[in-house]
Amino acid sequence: MEDKKDGPAPVWLITGCSTGFGREIALAALHCGARVVVTARKLQAVADICERYPEQTLALALDVTDAGQIESVVAEALATFGCIDVLVNNAGYGYVGAIEEGEDAAVRALFDTNFFGALALTKAVLPHMRERRCGRIINNSSQAGLMANPGTGYYSASKYALEGLMEALSKELEPFNIFVSSVQPGAFRTDWSGRSMQRTGTPIADYDAHVGSRLDMIAEIDGTQPGDPVSAAQAFVMLANLEKPPLQLLLGAGVLATYREKLEGVVASLDEWEATTLSADFPSN
């Protein structure tokens, strides 16, 4: 992104600012002088942020599953600040349970927020960013978007979908000087595994030992996770200011170690089955 030191402060639009990552990202951007459209489903949840930075903030109610609210938020942001330099798709939550235990309505609601909500916000700001030939789109994804495990399959599916979409989008937008990055945090001390996590209401006893026990463990570590959301928020600010930010950025020692293990397994599997893979092509002349 171009240097804004001698010009107007950049404008950020951040979803899900009431708690956790969204709140800390908003505070970090504001501390650095940015103007921020602070959104949440309930405005009272972000009132203190706006009281602290009254000249730099615009607080707007936003449920990312509401198309009308998305349209009005983007319009009001542009009317107030004149531009949107950085979109942070942060709003999301976890729904957990074995795949067989999944409730159709709950799964669709999960995708409506985690995937379709981010997609709708992105499409809403893109015409403006394309016109200006400038912008940053930063998605708060998850380690679950890189690795799937028992009990969190539906959450992973919503994040894998977002990762695939944004990888393609990054290639479509780079010619316009619009860069897309997705952040994959590991276990961070937010409400994800506590207040905001939804668990299936139709458990099946056969899954208790190897799925239910893992979900119990995730719930039990709530409040003691190693990741610091305040430190993570600084990484989002860094990404917004890089000339060419990375497509993916992992956060936390745990996700780094486990993803390296996964990649080693992928390479080993490719090597093991290389002959079968190559045998599927027509013989070369």
The answer to the question of residue 284 being in a domain is no
The answer to the question of residue 280 being in a domain is no
Q: Is it the case that residue 57 has pLDDT exceeding 80?
A: yes
105 neighbors 95 (Cβ within 8 angstroms): no
Instruction: State the catalytic residue, choosing from 53, 141, 181, 182.
Output: 141
Instruction: State the catalytic residue, choosing from 18, 142, 182, 193.
Output: 18
Q: What is the mean pLDDT of residues 12-33?
A: 95
The answer to the question of residue 55 being in a domain is yes
The owner of tokens 């908003």 is 26
Q: What is the pLDDT of residue 116?
A: 98
Q: What is the mean pLDDT of residues 131-136?
A: 97
Q: What is the pLDDT of residue 83?
A: 97
The answer to the question of residue 228 being in a domain is yes
The answer to the question of residue 281 being in a domain is no
Instruction: State the catalytic residue, choosing from 53, 159, 170, 182.
Output: 159
Q: What is the mean pLDDT of residues 206-210?
A: 90
Q: Is it the case that residue 2 has pLDDT exceeding 60?
A: no
The answer to the question of residue 243 being in a domain is yes
Confidence band of 284 (pLDDT split at 50, 70, 90):
confident
The mean pLDDT of the chain is: 91
Q: DSSP string covering the chain, please?
A: ----TTSPPPEEEES--SSHHHHHHHHHHHHTT-EEEEEESSGGGGHHHHHHSTTTEEEEE--TT-HHHHHHHHHHHHHHHS---EEEE-----EES-GGG--HHHHHHHHIIIIIIHHHHHHHHHHHHHHHT-EEEEEE--GGGT---TT-HHHHHHHHHHHHHHHHHHHHHGGGTEEEEEEEE-SBSSSTTTTT-EE-SS--GGGIIIIIHHHHHHHHTTT--SB-HHHHHHHHHHHHH-SS--SEEEESHHHHHHHHHHHHHHHHHHHHTHHHHHTTSPPP-
Q: Give the domain range for residue 206.
A: 11-274
Element (H, E) at 65: none
Q: Which residue has the higher pLDDT, 72 or 20?
A: 72
Confidence band of 212 (pLDDT split at 50, 70, 90):
confident
Q: Is it the case that residue 5 has pLDDT exceeding 60?
A: no
The verdict on whether 141 is a catalytic residue reads: yes
Instruction: State the catalytic residue, choosing from 53, 95, 154, 155.
Output: 155
The verdict on whether 142 is a catalytic residue reads: no
The verdict on whether 18 is a catalytic residue reads: yes
Q: What is the mean pLDDT of residues 23-46?
A: 96
The answer to the question of residue 61 being in a domain is yes
Range in 65-74, 194-203, 235-244 with the lowest mean pLDDT? 194-203
Q: At what angle do helices 20-31 and 229-241 cross, to 10 degrees?
A: 50
Reported as a single tens digit per residue, the pLDDT across 176-197 is 999 999 999 976 656 655 566 7
Q: What is the pLDDT of residue 226?
A: 63
Number of domains comprising the chain:
1
Confidence band of 67 (pLDDT split at 50, 70, 90):
very high
Looking up residue 236, the CATH number of its domain turns out to be 3.40.50.720
Q: What is the pLDDT of residue 195?
A: 65
The verdict on whether 154 is a catalytic residue reads: no
Give pTM, 2 decimals. Answer: 0.92
Q: Which residue has the higher pLDDT, 173 or 208?
A: 173
Picking from 17, 20, 19, 45, the residue whose alpha carbon sits closest to that of residue 225 is 20
Reported as a single tens digit per residue, the pLDDT across 229-242 is 888 899 999 999 99
